[in-house]
Amino acid sequence: MTQPDVFDHKVLDQKVLDQNIRELQEWLRKAWQQLADPSLTAFSRRELRNQMKQCNADLRVQLQAASKQMLGQPASSGKKFARPELRILA
């Protein structure tokens, strides 16, 4: 089982980041299932765990990039917050 090649140092748009995150999560899910296979040798288990660690690190980077991109985007409604006009009613 080889991990997906989705890590890229370029700034990616949100759809690509979302797709990369989903692929990495799916790969990790399948890796955990494969790790439970009793027929794996000790060497295969160690190699799979090493790949899982790398995939987990890649997933963390993708999630951080998505978070930064979401924080940097303005609200989709296009409205700016302005100081409200307040009146005192007596």
- Each residue's pLDDT tens digit in the chain (90 positions)? 665 555 544 445 888 989 999 999 999 999 999 999 999 999 999 999 999 999 999 999 999 988 888 787 655 556 677 887 888 887
Contacts of 40-49 spanning 24+ positions with Cβ under 8 A = 48/1
Q: Residue 2 falls within a domain, yes or no?
A: no
Q: Residue 81 falls within a domain, yes or no?
A: no
In tens, the pLDDT along 17-34 reads 899 999 999 999 999 999
**pTM (two decimals):** 0.64
Containing domain of residue 41, as a range?
A: 14-72
Count of the separate structural domains present in the chain: 1
Tokens 């979401």, residue? 70
Q: Residue 4 falls within a domain, yes or no?
A: no
Q: At what angle do helices 14-35 and 42-72 cross, to 10 degrees?
A: 160
Q: Residue 89 falls within a domain, yes or no?
A: no
Say what the pLDDT of residue 9 is.
46
